[in-house]
Structure 1
C-alpha cells in the first residue's frame, strides 16, 4: 500500500517562499529610506525575490497532484474554477480596492511612476500593471490555472498542449520573439516553465518512480551552491538561467518533502502557521512595509536599524496572519459552504 502523503512540509515551503519575498522588499526599502547596509544580508535579500519562482513551482505541483484523479473529467471544471476564484480573489480584492481608493485620494503616496491598469487590478486579466505591485505574479497564476483547465477536457490534449507550450516558450526565448499583446506575452513568458516544472514533478511522484535520498539530497544542495556561485559572481549562462537553476533545486526539495520528509506537523507549529498564512503575507507585505518603513525612527547605527528591520518583518507577519484568519479562513469557508450547496 502506498504510504499516505502529507503536504505539511510543502505548506512550510510556501511560508518560506513568502518570507523570502518579504525580506527582499523590506530590505530594499530600509536600504532606500534608512541607509541600511549589511552586505551579506543584502545579498541574501536580493535572492529573496526568487521566492516567487519557488511559489510558481509549488503551484504547478500542488494543482497537478491534488487534481490528478480528475484528468479528463469535464464535470470537475465548475468545482475547479470556483475553488481557484475563491482562493485567489477573496483575499486579494479588498487589498486591491483599498489601494485603488488610496491612490485616487493621494496620488503622490507612491514613489513609483508605473501606470496602473484598472482591468488587471480588479480581474488579474493580463492588460497592464496591477495596483498591487506583487499581483503581477497572480496574473501569471490565474493564466496558468485557466490554461491548466485543458487537463480536464482531455488528458491526451493536455499532454500534447504542454509539450507544444514548452517548445513555444523556449523558441520565443532562443529566437528573441516579442509580442505587444499582453496575453501572448504571458503565454510565452519563461516563468511558465516553473509552473510546468511543478506539473512534471507531480507526474513523476504519481508514477512508480522511487528516488534515492543519497542522490537527490546532494543534488539539491550542490545545485544551491552552484546557484549561489552564479548569483554572487553574476554568471548567466542564458536568459533566465539563474531562475531556472533555483527552480530546479526547489523542485528537488519538493521531491525530498514528499518522499523523505513526508510527515504530519503540529498545526500550531510556527512554520505551519506561516505556511497557512503565506498568501495573505504575500499580498499584504508590500503595502505594510511601505508604511512601516516610513514611520520607524531613522537611526545611524546599523545594529539598531537591523532590529527595526526585524521588528517590521515580525509586525507584517502578525498582521498578515490576522488577515488570513478573517479573509482566507473565515470568509472563504463561509462562501465555499454556500457554493458547495449550489454546486451539489
Structure 2
C-alpha cells in the first residue's frame, strides 16, 4: 500500500463493494445457484446493502476531498453531479422500462418513470417505487442525489465549506431516525424527507472522515479490527425494520478506522489530544459490543452463525502478524483488478441487474457460460459508458476554463 496514492485505495474499496453487490445479485438471480443457498452463500450474497453503505461513506469522503481540492459554487457542483449521474442513469432507466414491459408484462406509470429518472424512488416507496422487477438498485441514487442537493444548498459557500451546517445536518439526521420508526404524519413528502435525513449521517460520517483524516490516530491493526467487526454490526437486528438506519449509522461508525487508514498521511503527524488517540478504539468497541448484545439474543440466526459473527474479530490475532504478506497480497493480487472495477463501478452497478435477469432466463445455456457472458457484457457496457460516453459528455457539457 505504501507506494500507491490515497485515491487508489478508495477506488479499490469501491471496486470491492461493487463486486459484492454483483455477487449477491448473481447468487439470488441464477436459479441453479439460488436453489442451493446455504449459510455460506448467504454470508457472501447478503452483503449488497452493506456495500451500498460503503458507497455512501465513500461518497462523503470523495465529495469533501474534491470540493476541498477545487472549490465550486453550489450551482456548478450540482451541474457536475447531474452530468455524472443522470445521463447513464437515463440509459439504465430506458433499459429497465423495456424489461418491465417485455419480460414482466408491467407497463410503468409516467410518474414512476420520472421518479426513477430524477431519481426519488426508494425501496420503501415513500414517493415512488423503484423498478422492483428489473432494476431495484436505483434506490441508492435517490439518497445520493438528496445528499448532493443538501450539501450544495446548505454547506457550500462562496469561499468555504460551512462546517456548522454539516453538524446541524448530522444531528438532524440522528433526530429523524426516531421519527422514521414513529411517523408523525401520513404525508408521503414528509416521510420521504425523514427517510432521506435518517440515512444522511452515513454520508456525513464519510465527510468527517476526510475532514479529520490527519488528526485522529489509526493504524493497520485498528483498520483490520474494524474490518473484522463490520459483519457483526451489519447483521445485528437493532429493530424489526430491514432497512434499519440505526444499524446503518453504527456500520458507518465502525468503518471509520478502516477508511482513516486508507486516506490519511502518515508523515509528520502528532496526535496529542486524548480523543484523537482513542476515538478509533472507542468506535470499534461500542459498535461491536452493541452488536454482540443484539446478535447473541437473536435466535433467527443459527447458533453457528452467531458464534462466527461474534468470534470473527478474534481473527485479528492471526492477521496482524502477517502484515507484510497481506500488503503483498493486496498490492499484487487485489489492487489492479479492483481498482479497475472501481473506475467502472457506477455503470456496473446500474446495468448488472438487467443483464443478470435476461441471462437467468436462458437456462438452456450452461451456467458457467452464462456467467462468462455476463462478465463480458457487463464490463463491455461499463467500459463504453465510463471510458467513451462519460468523457464525451464532460467535454460537451462542462464549461471550458477561461485562461
Give the TM-score of the pair, scaled to structure 1. Answer: 0.78
In structure 2, the residue matched to 1:275 is 342
Aligned length: 321
Distance 1:223 1:33 in 2: 28
In structure 2, the residue matched to 1:295 is 362
Q: 1:193 aligns with which of 185, 190, 201?
A: 201
Q: For residues 85-143 of structure 1, what are the alpha-carbon distances to aligned partners after superposition, in whole Å with 9 as ceiling and x for unaligned? A: 11111221112113224434x26357x99997122122213531233321111111111
Cα drift, residue 268 of structure 1: 9.2
Match of 1:212, SS? coil
In the alignment, structure 2 segments of 5+ residues that lack a partner are: 122-126, 268-326
Cα drift, residue 218 of structure 1: 5.0
> After TM superposition, what 4+ stretches of structure 1 lie above 6 angstroms from structure 2?
112-116, 260-268
Query: What is the correspondence of 1:244-283 to structure 2 with a 5 Å cutoff?
Result: 244-259=249-264, 269-283=336-350
Which 10-residue stretch deviates more, 237-246 or 127-136? 237-246
In structure 1, the residue matched to 2:395 is 337
In the alignment, structure 1 segments of 5+ residues that lack a partner are: 300-307
Distance 2:401 2:265 in 1: 37
In structure 2, the residue matched to 1:19 is 19
What CA RMSD, in Å, does the superposition of the two structures yield over aligned residues? 3.7
Give the TM-score of the pair, scaled to structure 2. Answer: 0.68
Distance 2:206 2:23 in 1: 24
Q: 1:108 aligns with which of 104, 108, 126?
A: 104
Q: For residues 27-63 of structure 1, what are the alpha-carbon distances to aligned partners after superposition, in whole Å with 9 as ceiling and x for unaligned? A: 1223588623343112321233321111111111211
Which 10-residue stretch deviates more, 48-57 or 36-45? 36-45
Distance 2:365 2:204 in 1: 44
Distance 2:337 2:16 in 1: 11
Q: For residues 238-291 of structure 1, what are the alpha-carbon distances to aligned partners after superposition, in whole Å with 9 as ceiling and x for unaligned? A: 444443443333333211211389999799921111111111111011111111
Distance 2:93 2:350 in 1: 9
Distance 1:224 1:113 in 2: 37
Distance 2:19 2:220 in 1: 29
Q: In 2, are the aligned partners of 1:18 and 1:278 still within 8 Å (CA)?
A: yes
Query: What is the correspondence of 1:49-128 to structure 2 with a 5 Å cutoff?
Result: 49-68=49-68, 76-104=73-101, 106=102, 108-109=104-105, 117-126=112-121, 127-128=127-128
Q: In 2, are the aligned partners of 1:91 and 1:280 still within 8 Å (CA)?
A: yes
